[in-house]
Structure 1
Amino acid sequence: MKDSIKVFAPATVANVVCGFDVLGFAVNEPGDEVIMRVTNKPGITLSKITGDNGRLPLDPAKNTVSVSVQHYLKSIDRTDIGLDIELHKKMPIGSGLGSSSASTVAGLFAAKTLLGDETDVAKLLPFAIKGEEMACGHGHADNVAPALMGGFVLIRSYEPLDVIRLPHPKGLYCAIVFPDVDVPTREARQIIRDKIYMKDAVTQWGNIAGLVSGLFMNDIDLIGRSMKDILVEPVRSMLIPDFYKMREMAMEMGAVSFGISGSGPSVFAFTKSEEEAKQIAQKLQKHLAGAGIGSNIYVSDINDQGPRVIG
């Protein structure tokens, strides 16, 4: 068994406009890194966290990474082992890009790899969900599942947990813009309606089915037509500056679709080329700068690998 390992886990776009809590996909950047070392003393320690501006706890009982790893070790009866964790945040917290998920998945994948556990990586999903529950009060899988499994993922059911990897067109690119505004996940969930009209539900079901069909059929235009949300986006978009103006600009520049990533404030656009994605991201960043709002931008195709060992 190796003494140490360094793992990268990717950011994710959850919901994918119409698929609230049931759809998500992984991107190539940004992401988080975990360095894990075997120690002589049983138990888990967190020796260092960087890139969080002091916002995350070093107490292993309160950090999503260590808590998830502890659940995993109990499940395989290896609480006798000692592990020390360094967490390096390479992506912004509260971005709507699955920041806590990337950290948790990196930690779980590192532990699984260090211990030589060769079972399917999907076995780690319930432990990753435990981390999400601690991070935002709701144990959803639309970030952790694609971060862990890579690709485009559908969570068909939570009880029992049933997760399906979906195919996707190879020419699909994603432009992501993260505005420098604060939209906490817990608060973003609280403003969502708890009752909806049947006609709205039917519209949403049709869009989700259309999106999944477009992924299977490699039909990017069908994907674009289907990515409409009449339930969650109208409420959450109020928390994101110039959301509808940015959507108008992206669509005019040839975007296939445009929407909120997770609970926001990040937004994303699907495009048919990497160059289009770069141009859209830069244009939206420039627009936000004109309004006095800083932003980070990322361009990626869909990341089919998920977590990977980098050292």
Structure 2
Amino acid sequence: MRKIGVLTSGGDAPGMNAAIRAVVRKAIYHELEVYGIKNGYQGLIEGNIEKLEIGSVGDIIQRGGTMLRSARCEEFKTDEGQQKGIEQLQKHEIEGLIVIGGDGSFRGAQKLTEKGYPCIGVPGTIDNDINGTDFTIGFDTALNTIIEAIDKIRDTATSHERTYIIEVMGRDAGDLALWAGLADGAESILIPEKQDDFDDVITRLIRGHERGKKHSIIILAEGVGSGFSYGQRIQEATNLETRVTVLGYIQRGGSPTASDRVLASRLGAKAVDLLLEGKAGRMVGIQKNKLVDHNILDILSKQHTINDEMYKLSKELSI
């Protein structure tokens, strides 16, 4: 193998730049040529490809987002779109591809692998919803962004004796809400995997108010529903003044934490190793602080599950 490509796809995540840097520098260390594909699979179809040198990835490890940019591409889900991508890979003589993204990105990587182009997936998503790895690139940074916001909101909640609902990202997975809620002592944590009984949430709020609690914090993953609708229901049921904050895309931005930079560097470098070993259709991950790799098909066939121990603990500590 002489030439490899790298792209980022789907939602951006802090630490993607660190992963790109690791891929480029590890590949060049092994005397490979590296080509960056801009705008994800859309850029692959359009041939938006350029050679990357050591200096191309200088001074990016501390930057959020992705220097290669990202885009969602419906066309690449079709055989015709995939064939256009393959033609661009052939044109540039790219023999292997590293895809940094989430499960949708990995489906594209698997399709290319099946059609003769070896791909390795690197899990990059703030949702931490990829099987086969304890953590995904960007999760730790997003989590710390959420915690910082909750800490500030708690100051106001205490001053005005209000109930605050904080809506965080997590359409299908509640890791961000669960970890943030446990770290910040939330009264209730509402996540897609565990549909809490509304009456239980109300009981907790009333019980806390009756024992003199001055404020309450509820963390709501967006997959459960609208924070504003939930807030209105709570205020009507308890007569407690309730405010809602939707953190939105602020969770995706910002300089990656040290943890995300190290994780991204390790995973990006490991992906290059797998290509050099002749492997394809694999995803790199980290489990118990050891680098691992799994068949992408196995990863995609399993549904993400929440840490039940942590969820139970959050209930026990929020009495």
Judge same fold: TM > 0.5, yes or no: no
**Which structure has the highest helix share of the two?**
2
**Which structure has the highest strand share of the two?**
1
Q: TM-score, length-normalised on structure 2? A: 0.22
Q: TM-score, length-normalised on structure 1? A: 0.23
Larger radius of gyration: 2
